[in-house]
């Protein structure tokens, strides 16, 4: 009996989660996420799937984040018509997140096509539209925690609380096989202990195969209680306001926004933060906050949820309202999406504030390598936003008190119930350093190194039953030619990042040259390197 698992995303990189299980009973996907980060990685979103979507019988979604769900509308457009299962809260969040992702793609493509037309370059089409996303939602069916069900004949599954965001789940699977059922666990994203709004994650039952995230597998964070976490946030906000400018906080619309709003409300009630305007400049975050209110009984402190909608918070719904914030140059806190600064209204606020010495940009979440947020957080002197150079003179601050991911020790503790019987741990959803760190920690916890593997993009693993349990064996079968090389998939930067940096460096060199003659000489040297010099009146001239 042949069973195999194919890793079409989140393989030695953090985003694009998509795992395809092939069984004699049919094919099943766990997650169908969008790639985020460098443009070379994001380009995979536009390519055809490396499998036939019409052959997929079922999809299981671990949670609503776009890097786990964002290509599902594309799957539906490509011919998928099977059963999709997710928790009720995940479905309610997706009713806003997926159409918003479609609308963002439409807007981005419209702007790109205007630019392409000016350059006499061909136009492009969005991966899917808002209407496409809305249509795909009809395929998703609710499935409650802790209840076994059959996503397709021959396969049983149950969703269990992962403690990551509202509605998040890890998945336990049992596949009918000979000589024994194959037991699997897919972690999705596992939340940390004592998270701000979520209960601690449940522990998995013993399994043969564990597909485990490793986002923070190489680090251990300080353990902060609610009061200490709020103190850290309050200190940073107060310092940013004292500097004289606004505090810009890039936030994800789901969970991070609600955590920050909840803590700001508590700080105000305790008189630990001045009563300054707090703008929530994200219509999507406003809608998802309403979903949190509807599902507040699922939260750790879920008896009332009023903190999310306190009268001191100002939701800016329209573009005009968002632009009006740009006329406020001090004394305000602005929470704006997206969390990694690669889309949404936060990019406009960064253009308005990065060059101001009295402004503060406060990062409160993960920044994937190659994203604008990662470049700014990494100390760049200048960045390019909407094709323009913006100098970075603002105060750049970050706090790590709101992570939605378990750290190394928490992941090992979460895996403790499965380590003894585990045939193979397949580490995904992490960069190479994080994978190596978690691998070493699992070895120290008693799992043989031979029982640990880190799949590459599109790699296939088959399963063999020996010594009373199933193990995973890497197979040479993969997508040919590779959609992306292993080095590209795991790279923190790509040529697009380097190109943007080169433009900034060239501009700086020309600006700092002592006179026009030196500038002409620099341009001549650059053209000579490119082999594209244009002669006019016996010397090289600028284009």
Phi, psi for residue 442 in degrees, rounded to 5: -70, -35
Question: Does 153 score more than 90 pLDDT?
Answer: yes
pTM over 0.75: yes
Question: Does 214 score more than 90 pLDDT?
Answer: yes
The more confidently predicted of residues 76 and 304 is 76
Q: How confident is the model at residue 369 (pLDDT cuts 50, 70, 90)?
A: confident
Question: Does 538 score more than 90 pLDDT?
Answer: no
As a whole number, mean pLDDT of residues 406-420 equals 97
CA-based max dimension of the chain: 83
CATH number of 226-398: 3.40.50.10890
Q: What is the pLDDT of residue 309?
A: 54
Q: What is the pLDDT of residue 539?
A: 33
Q: What is the pLDDT of residue 303?
A: 52
Question: Does 494 score more than 70 pLDDT?
Answer: no
Question: Does 429 score more than 70 pLDDT?
Answer: yes
Please, what's the b/e burial string for 132-158 (b: 16 or more CB within 10 A of its CB; e: otherwise)? bbeebbebbeebebeeeeebbebbbbb
Angle at 38 between CA 35 and CA 43, to 5 degrees: 55
Of all residues in the chain, the percent with pLDDT exceeding 90 is 69
Q: What is the pLDDT of residue 304?
A: 53
* CATH of range 4-220+404-489; options 3.30.750.24, 2.40.50.100, 3.60.15.10, 3.40.640.10: 3.60.15.10
For residues 496 and 387, the answer to whether their CB atoms sit within 8 Å is no
CA distances from 353 to 22, 346, 356, 398 (A): 50, 10, 5, 16
Least confident span in 108-122, 185-199, 393-407, 471-485: 471-485
Structure tokens of 277? 């305007």
Q: What is the pLDDT of residue 343?
A: 81
For residues 59 and 392, the answer to whether their CB atoms sit within 8 Å is no
List the domain boundaries for the chain: 4-220+404-489, 226-398, 495-540
Least confident span in 126-140, 159-173, 282-296, 529-543: 529-543
Structure tokens of 235? 């200190």
As a whole number, mean pLDDT of residues 115-128 equals 89
List the alpha helices (DSSP H) in 52-193: 66-69, 72-77, 88-118, 130-136
Q: How confident is the model at residue 486 (pLDDT cuts 50, 70, 90)?
A: low
Q: What is the pLDDT of residue 20?
A: 98
Closest CA to 414 of 197, 191, 199: 191
Q: What pairs with residue 395 in β-bridges?
A: 360
Question: Does 367 score more than 80 pLDDT?
Answer: yes
Q: Distance (Å, rounded) from C-alpha 421 to C-alpha 287?
A: 43
Question: Does 245 score more than 70 pLDDT?
Answer: yes
Structure tokens of 215? 């986002």
Q: What is the pLDDT of residue 279?
A: 94
Mean pLDDT, the chain, as a whole number? 90
Structure tokens of 432? 């190479």
For residues 41 and 16, the answer to whether their CB atoms sit within 8 Å is yes
pLDDT, tens digit, 9 for 90 and up, residues 506-524: 777 888 888 888 888 888 8
Q: How confident is the model at residue 123 (pLDDT cuts 50, 70, 90)?
A: confident
pLDDT, tens digit, 9 for 90 and up, residues 298-336: 888 655 545 565 546 898 988 899 999 989 989 999 999
- What is the 3-state secondary structure of 132-199? HHHHHHHHEEECCECCCEEEECCEEEEEEECCCCCCCEEEEEEECCCCCCEEEEECCCCCCCCCCCCC
Q: Distance (Å, rounded) from C-alpha 345 to C-alpha 437?
A: 35
For residues 217 and 427, the answer to whether their CB atoms sit within 8 Å is yes
As a whole number, mean pLDDT of residues 41-46 equals 92
Q: What is the pLDDT of residue 488?
A: 56
Q: How confident is the model at residue 257 (pLDDT cuts 50, 70, 90)?
A: very high
Q: What is the pLDDT of residue 543?
A: 32
List the alpha helices (DSSP H) in 445-515: 486-489, 495-512
Q: Distance (Å, rounded) from C-alpha 159 to C-alpha 128?
A: 28
Q: How confident is the model at residue 381 (pLDDT cuts 50, 70, 90)?
A: very high
CA dihedral 248→252→255→261, nearest 10 degrees, is: 20
CA distances from 241 to 129, 270, 278, 341, 398 (A): 40, 18, 12, 21, 15
For residues 277 and 331, the answer to whether their CB atoms sit within 8 Å is yes
Q: Distance (Å, rounded) from C-alpha 158 to C-alpha 146?
A: 6
């Amino acid at each position: 009996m042949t069973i195999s698992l194919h890793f079409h995303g989140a393989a030695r990189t953090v985003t694009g989660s998509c795992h395809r299980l092939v069984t004699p009973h049919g094919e099943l996907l766990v997650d169908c996420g969008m790639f985020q980060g460098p443009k070379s990685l994001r380009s995979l979103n536009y390519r055809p799937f490396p499998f036939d979507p019409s052959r997929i019988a079922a999809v299981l979604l671990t949670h609503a984040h776009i890097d786990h769900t964002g290509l599902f509308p594309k799957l539906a457009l490509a011919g998928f018509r099977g059963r999709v299962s997710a928790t009720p809260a995940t479905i309610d969040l997706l009713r806003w997140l997926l159409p918003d992702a479609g609308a963002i793609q439409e807007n981005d493509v419209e702007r790109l096509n205007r630019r392409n037309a000016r350059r006499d370059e061909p136009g492009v089409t969005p991966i899917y539209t808002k209407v496409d996303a809305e249509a795909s939602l009809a395929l998703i069916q609710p499935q409650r925690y802790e209840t076994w069900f059959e996503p397709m004949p021959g396969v049983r599954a149950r969703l269990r609380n992962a403690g990551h965001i509202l509605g998040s789940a890890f998945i336990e699977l049992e596949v009918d096989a000979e000589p024994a059922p194959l037991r699997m666990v897919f972690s999705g994203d596992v939340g940390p202990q004592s998270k701000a709004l979520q209960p601690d994650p449940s522990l998995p039952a013993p399994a043969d195969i564990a597909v485990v995230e490793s986002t923070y597998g190489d680090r251990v964070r300080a353990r902060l209680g609610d009061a200490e976490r709020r103190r850290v946030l309050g200190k940073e906000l107060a310092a940013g306001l004292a500097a004289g400018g606004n505090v810009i906080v890039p936030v994800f619309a789901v969970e991070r926004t609600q955590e920050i709003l909840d803590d700001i409300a508590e700080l105000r009630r305790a008189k630990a933060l001045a009563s300054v305007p707090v703008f929530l400049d994200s219509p999507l975050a406003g809608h998802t906050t309403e979903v949190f209110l509807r599902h507040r009984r699922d939260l750790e402190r879920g008896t009332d949820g009023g903190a999310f909608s306190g009268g001191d918070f100002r939701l800016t719904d329209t573009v005009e309202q968002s632009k009006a914030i740009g006329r406020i140059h001090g004394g305000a806190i602005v929470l704006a999406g997206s969390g990694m600064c690669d889309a949404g209204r936060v990019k406009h606020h960064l253009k308005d504030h990065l060059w101001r010495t009295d402004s503060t940009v406060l990062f409160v979440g993960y920044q994937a390598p190659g994203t604008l947020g990662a470049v700014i957080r990494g100390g760049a002197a200048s960045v390019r936003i909407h094709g323009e150079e913006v100098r970075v003179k603002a105060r750049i601050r970050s706090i790590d008190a709101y992570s939605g991911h378990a750290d190394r020790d928490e992941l090992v503790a979460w895996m403790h119930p499965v380590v003894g019987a585990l045939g193979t741990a397949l580490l995904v959803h992490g960069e190479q350093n994080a994978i190596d760190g978690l691998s070493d920690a699992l070895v120290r916890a008693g799992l043989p190194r031979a029982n640990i593997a880190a799949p590459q993009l599109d790699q296939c693993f088959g399963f063999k039953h020996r010594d009373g349990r199933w193990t995973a064996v890497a197979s040479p079968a993969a997508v040919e030619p590779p959609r992306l090389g292993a080095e590209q998939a795991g790279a923190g930067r790509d040529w697009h990042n380097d190109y943007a940096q080169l433009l900034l460096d060239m501009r700086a060199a020309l600006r700092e040259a002592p006179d026009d003659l030196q500038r002409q000489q620099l341009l001549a040297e650059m053209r000579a390197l490119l082999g594209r010099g244009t002669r006019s009146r016996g010397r090289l001239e600028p284009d």
